[in-house]
Structure 1
Amino acid sequence: MSTPDRNREFEGKTALVTGAGKGIGRATVQLLAQRGARVIALSRTAADLHTLAEETGCETVCVNLADPVATLKAAEAAQPVDLLVNCAGIVELQAFLDTTIEAFDTIMAVNVKAAMIVAQQCARSMIARGAGGSIVNVSSLSATVGLPLHAAYCASKAALDGLTRVMAVELGPHGIRVNSVNPVVTLTPMAEKAWSDPAKSAPMLARIPLNRFVQPLEAARAIAYLLSGDAAMVSGVSLAVDGGFQAG
């Protein structure tokens, strides 16, 4: 049995987590709540939010982040927050030559545009309050590594990393730190869609020196580190959580 997390570093802080229903987002909500934060969990799936609220006591917002108007309203209503985790992300597996405009636009809308909209509202509130804050955008190793069938997804994560760096530069003077976490394949429901075939997963595993994929809680702990005071001078970085993939 695992030891309960007794760290209460986020006591008195409010955290907003998008993509909170499953995978890394869900693990992040659970971890931040354990560590004392008041958490607002945002997802498009009401059933996921219901069980998450029962588990953690978090507040919930059900919204489809592909809709920019609804996203803006939800982000405004969630304020004020001290910590933001942009974790929402979608993937559609298509070969580059078969990538549709519709799929490309939807993936960019959720993975990049929604992250920008939510972060803008959080940053404006942080600046108005003069309180500073911390933002973590959940990116991917695919921001820097080309993966077959992931043209739109890789493009979206590279864009998110670029957005992260600009946010860090412009928001830093207001005491707001902005970073991204870039995991290799993480064992989430979305990853099952892309990597359940051993013929696909075996070559990827062979490139990871630790010889396994990431667990959602491991990504959540990296996110928590970047949100915390322990990372007080860390801003503008893309933190790989990849088991040594990039070292090879």
Structure 2
Amino acid sequence: MIVPQTPSFRLDGKRAVVTGAGRGIGLAAAAALAQAGAAVTLVARSAGEIADAASAIGNGAEAVTLDVSDIEAVAAFFAARDPFHVLVNNAGTNRPKPMWDVTEADYDAVLGLNVKAAFFVAQACAKAMIAGGTKGSLIHMGSQMGHVGGPNRSLYCASKWAMEGMNKSFALDLAPHGIRSNTIAPTFIETPLTKPMFEDAAFKASVLSKIKLGRIGTPEDLMGAVLFLASDASALMTGTSLVVDGGWTAE
């Protein structure tokens, strides 16, 4: 009898890049990939923060200061390096407010980073992979808010629903090149960005009432999903979303 063997979750010999890697979800993603053996490049605007993070992660991790909203700089970054096998397209922002209070500046900030910058980061990474004949995995950090709506989240929902759509199209374009594209859609995760929101007791209670497992998420809750989508364990997955929401969207 031939016993099936579990595909490897290891990433030895692979090169990975994580945007928005200085803290929170991005830092956790970079750590997960490095702990699985990948050589990880951490990218963010905060030079000191990602340098410290890369040093702490070890395993050859390097830090590169880059503003992912600068499309020319993004193209130059990927053109100057060997192709990556894994991209975690994580940089993002949010300006929660009622839709009637949203300004054009708010719109440009949220959609500019969450959609436009994410698109061109993925494009530049994929172009280098295609040119080098490198197969791999693009992982885009979406949100449960790319699957449902939420009060005061019109811009964020718009951006994350857009990400889900472009991810599906990326998957179709890139499949012939052996490049997969998927999203991870977390519930509320406590990070330096979101922690102040949870100091509002009413807001925290409203969130916990929707998360059926009864707790706010942590960056560690997403590390397994990142590793799964980056590795051969998910070799037949593309164009879909891995929802890590504690049951929020099940109802």
Q: Tell me the TM-score range normalised by the shorter chain.
A: over 0.9
1:209 is paired with a residue of what secondary structure?
coil
The CA deviation string for residues 21-71 of structure 1, in whole angstroms up to 9 with x for no partner, is 111100011111111100010011112112102201311111222332323
| 1:3 alignment counterpart | none
Q: Secondary structure of 2:80's partner?
A: helix
Structure 1 stretch displaced more, 202-211 or 67-76: 67-76
Task: Answer whether contact 1:93 1:194 (CA < 8 A) is retained.
Answer: no
Q: Quote the offset at 1:161 in angstroms.
A: 0.8
CA contact (8 A) 2:148 2:249 kept: no
Q: Deviations over 1:145-177 (max 9, x none)?
A: 222222211111111111100001110111111
Partner Cα distance (1:41, 1:240) in 2? 24
Whether 1:216 aligns to 2:219 is yes
Which contiguous aligned blocks of 4+ residues in structure 1 show a shift greater than 4 angstroms? none
Match of 1:43 in 2: 44
Alignment of 1:66-215 (within 5 A): 66-215=69-218
Q: Do the aligned partners of 2:213 and 2:246 also contact (CA within 8 Å) in 1?
A: yes
Q: 8 Å contact 1:9–1:36 — kept in the other structure?
A: yes
With the length of structure 1 as denominator, give the TM-score of the two structures.
0.93
Deviates more, 1:32-41 or 1:144-153: 144-153
Partner of 2:4: none
Within the alignment, does 1:231 sit opposite 2:234 as a pair? yes
Q: Structure 1 CA distance, aligned partners of 2:128 and 2:73? A: 18
Pick which of 29-38 and 65-74 moved more.
65-74
Q: How many Å separate the matches in 1 of 2:16 and 2:140?
A: 13
CA contact (8 A) 1:16 1:78 kept: no
Structure 2's unaligned 5+ residue stretches are: 1-7
CA contact 1:40–1:78 (8 Å) conserved in 2: no
CA contact (8 A) 1:65 1:109 kept: no
Which one is further off, 170-179 or 149-158? Answer: 149-158
Distance 1:29 1:86 in 2: 11
**Secondary structure in 1 matching 2:212:** coil
| Cα distance change, pair 184–104 in 1 and its aligned pair in 2 (3 A) | same
Q: Supply the AA of the counterpart residue of 1:37.
A: A
Aligned-partner Cα distance in 2 for 1:35–1:8: 7
Q: One-letter code of the match for 1:145?
A: V
1:190 is paired with a residue whose SS is coil
Contact 1:8 1:36 in 2 (8 A): no
Percent of paired sites with the same residue: 39
Unmatched segments (≥5 aa) in structure 1: 1-6
CA drift at 1:78: 4.0
Distance 2:119 2:82 in 1: 15
